[in-house]
Amino acid sequence: MGAGRSLLLWGSKNNWMRNHVTNFTFVRHAVKKFMPGETATDAINATRELLKKKIPTTFTHLGENIKDLSEAETAAKHYLELINRINNEKLDIEVSLKLTQIGFDLSFGKTLEFFKQITKRAKECNNNVFIDIEDSSYVDKTLEFYKNIKEEYDNVGLCLQAYLYRTMNDLKDMIEINPWIRLVKGAYKEPENIAFKKKKNVDENFFELSKYLVRQIQERGIRVAFGTHDLRLQQQIRNEASVIGLPKEKLEFQMLYGIKTAEQFKLAEEGYNIRTLISYGEFWYPWYMRRLAERPANVWFVAKNIFRN
């Protein structure tokens, strides 16, 4: 891991930085590259534009590691209202959330209760919910949580990270329950004894996992979303699918709002399923720092905004 990436990921967890950095106008301008605005309405307006290109979206209302269950209740209420609104406005928008936003640091049982409320409402509205995956200290608990929720609901997916050595085992261990998976590389700072550190090794593992998943799509009909902007990996996955005769309509890619937008349009034009994940909300600091860490060159983009206005 480069020093720039390490520093940005360290900064993502630093309270002093959060309190100061978020007040700078130039940073607030720069955040707009990845976030259409702080409200659900901003994200819905962005979705309407993407839908013109046949690209549906997933919404994440930013928030994580809440300290009091009343905050979890507020977050859950937001998602319930959002799902109602999506249903009323007849838009193809799914939701994806972090378990620590609805109390995972405080109570497994309460988190399950809030999550079930959200999933139930989504099910009634013919909608789906994904669970974001957080740092490695949450993975065991999150898998247990997912297995638990899957016993009752089939409209739930889970994100897993290719940088962790354990992920192939986790997938195989879960495959009997027909999981829905969003595969990503992983956005946190992890130690060498549990995670690949070199990009080349992460990419290779992503492809190994993808080869396994592409076959599971074909054999079990499970839903898999390949969450990456890595065009080389996307191509490898497309090739693998065609080798085993999986039609392109069965492949789904997911990418983040504001990143490789032209390539997202192209995938849609070529007939692949592509869904854009849009994050919004006031609590954007740690999420934004992880986006900067993914491409430290983005820091220059922030710096350029100092000279705006």
Ligand X SMILES: Cc1cc2nc3c(=O)[nH]c(=O)nc-3n(C[C@H](O)[C@H](O)[C@H](O)COP(=O)(O)OP(=O)(O)OC[C@H]3O[C@@H](n4cnc5c(N)ncnc54)[C@H](O)[C@@H]3O)c2cc1C
Q: Tell me which residue has tokens 């954007």.
A: 284
| CA angle, 239 then 244 then 250, to 5° | 75
Identify the residue among 72, 159, 181, 289 touching ligand X (CB under 6 A): 159
Task: Tell me the three-class secondary structure of 7-41, residue by residue.
Answer: HHHHHHCCHHHHHHHCCCHHHHHHHCCCCCCCCHH
Q: x/- contact string, 170-209, with ligand X (CB under 6 A)?
A: --------------xxxxx---------------------
- From the list 121, 154, 173, 182, the catalytic residue is 182
CA distance to 7, 19, 67, 286, 308, per residue, from 15 (Å): 14, 6, 14, 10, 27
DSSP one-letter string for 137-165: GGHHHHHHHHHHHHTT-SSEEEEEETTBT
| Distance, CA of 10 to CA of 89 (rounded, Å) | 40
Please identify, using beta-carbon distances, which residue of 103 and 227 lies nearer to ligand X: 227
| Smallest distance from ligand X to CB 227, Å | 3
Identify the residue among 256, 274, 278, 302 touching ligand X (CB under 6 A): 256
Is 154 known to be catalytic?
no
Please identify, using beta-carbon distances, which residue of 90 and 164 lies nearer to ligand X: 164
Identify the residue among 136, 161, 264, 279 touching ligand X (CB under 6 A): 161
- Under the binding rule (CB under 6 A), the answer on residue 100 touching ligand X is no
| Distance, CA of 253 to CA of 275 (rounded, Å) | 6
Biggest CA–CA distance in the chain, Å, is 56
| Distance, CA of 145 to CA of 7 (rounded, Å) | 32
| Distance, CA of 63 to CA of 76 (rounded, Å) | 11
- Under the binding rule (CB under 6 A), the answer on residue 158 touching ligand X is no
| Distance, CA of 3 to CA of 41 (rounded, Å) | 37
| Smallest distance from ligand X to CB 18, Å | 19
| Distance, CA of 229 to CA of 54 (rounded, Å) | 18
- From the list 132, 203, 238, 291, the catalytic residue is 132
Identify the residue among 55, 102, 195, 255 touching ligand X (CB under 6 A): 255
Please identify, using beta-carbon distances, which residue of 83 and 184 lies nearer to ligand X: 184
Is 182 known to be catalytic?
yes
- Under the binding rule (CB under 6 A), the answer on residue 295 touching ligand X is yes
Residues in 215-254 at the binding interface with ligand X, rule: CB under 6 A:
227-230, 254
Residues contributing to the site for ligand X (CB under 6 A): 132-133, 159, 161, 184-188, 227-230, 254-256, 259-260, 277, 291, 294-295, 298
Return the active site residues. 132, 182
